[in-house]
Structure 1
């Protein structure tokens, strides 16, 4: 089995429930909600378990957990948080009881899709202790990695362009327990950005432990992020041409 952890409890700078009418997972793109697009993107991965981390207020008002259960045939674990956490890494640690084990773990952003064979990429990453998918970019919104000549990651940074390798919101860990230990070490060292603890710097802790962390470079035209209304409109124009 592989656990796919999807932290969705953070606030978005580009979406507002009052203006949009619905929270980000229910924003429609080409006739389907963002949540549907995400789940469909992983439909060919067998023996998986989604673990969604959601906000209590969105759940009570819009039935987010019900929608997740319908879309995944009640086969997902849903954790409902009443309060904001100190970043995505902290949100992920709320699922410790489900991921602190030898089972492979993917931590993925909900607001994106890949036009790739994810099974193939997961198989390639399974040969290493951890890894990411990356694409060429320099926008300060993303996390970045620096690699050696063998595409082994030697450094990761949140919102700092240490290379052109931007992380595509997809983190693989051969063992979920490796993520848990490394994330706790990062938090103990108080490695944060503006008071928030992110997933990318966790990779540095694994590297310090001597783990092999691999970068898989993907074609940026095969990766679509929906982090803003502008990016959604761009995707819809591409699909409607």
Structure 2
């Protein structure tokens, strides 16, 4: 089965008026919340799948975010975090009890929308017998994680460091979940961190060291919509309106 993990434990957006003082997934753009846009694409993935959400316990108690998710997805798995972790890897590992080692695993950021067909991406990675895969786009801004890619094959990743002009969108595929689990523990064991936090992209370095096949699916920069600021939310609203 394909397990899809969506970390939602991001900070709140607060602008000068206070109108965005909510968890990012609940912020509305053109009448729909961010998480609705994210899920509309993930729900189109064909085949048997299970969605797993990782979110702050306080967002469940204060904003009922878990109830909102249950209205949008059939039988989701909710993993509440009672304390801040040391990065995405640590948060995702909190869901390990809901993952079988031979499951396909997809980890998708919830603060972005990628305008592409996920079925096409997954089919491409499966056809190439990829052990792992990313979606990449062109950039040089140190905000992103990066990959060294030759002929579609990933040879190295780096967090917040442009080692190439191929940035990684928040889409991480693992043909077998065991590769993520073992790689994640290796990242922590070898302390491969950025400013004290452990990031998902680092798992691919550990897989590459073991001879695993990591592939990239390229998209154009205008297909990548990341909501790291209020301005980016407004830009996406304009994009929807054409």
Q: Give the TM-score range, shorter chain.
A: over 0.9
The 5-angstrom pairing of residues 77-116 of structure 1 reads: 77-116=77-116
CA contact (8 A) 2:132 2:174 kept: yes
CA contact (8 A) 1:16 1:23 kept: no
CA contact (8 A) 2:133 2:215 kept: yes
Q: Secondary structure at the match of 1:227?
A: coil
1:182 aligns with 2:168: no
The 5-angstrom pairing of residues 6-21 of structure 1 reads: 6-11=6-11, 15-16=13-14, 19=18, 20-21=20-21
The 5-angstrom pairing of residues 39-118 of structure 1 reads: 39-46=39-46, 47-73=48-74, 75-118=75-118
Separation of aligned partners in 2, 1:157 and 1:168: 13
| Alpha-carbon distance, 1:141 to partner | 1.0
1:31 aligns with 2:54: no
Separation of aligned partners in 2, 1:162 and 1:174: 25
Runs (4 or more) in structure 1 with deviation over 6 Å come to none
**Structure 2 residue aligned with 1:146:** 148
**Structure 2 residue aligned with 1:160:** 161
CA contact (8 A) 2:145 2:157 kept: yes
**Structure 1 residue aligned with 2:131:** 129
| Alpha-carbon distance, 1:100 to partner | 4.3
CA contact (8 A) 1:100 1:180 kept: no
**Structure 2 residue aligned with 1:231:** 232
Q: Tell me the TM-score normalised to structure 1 length.
A: 0.94
Q: What's the Cα RMSD here?
A: 1.5
Q: Secondary structure at the match of 2:205?
A: helix
Gaps of 5+ in 2: none
Q: Tell me the TM-score normalised to structure 2 length.
A: 0.94
Gaps of 5+ in 1: none
1:197 aligns with 2:198: yes
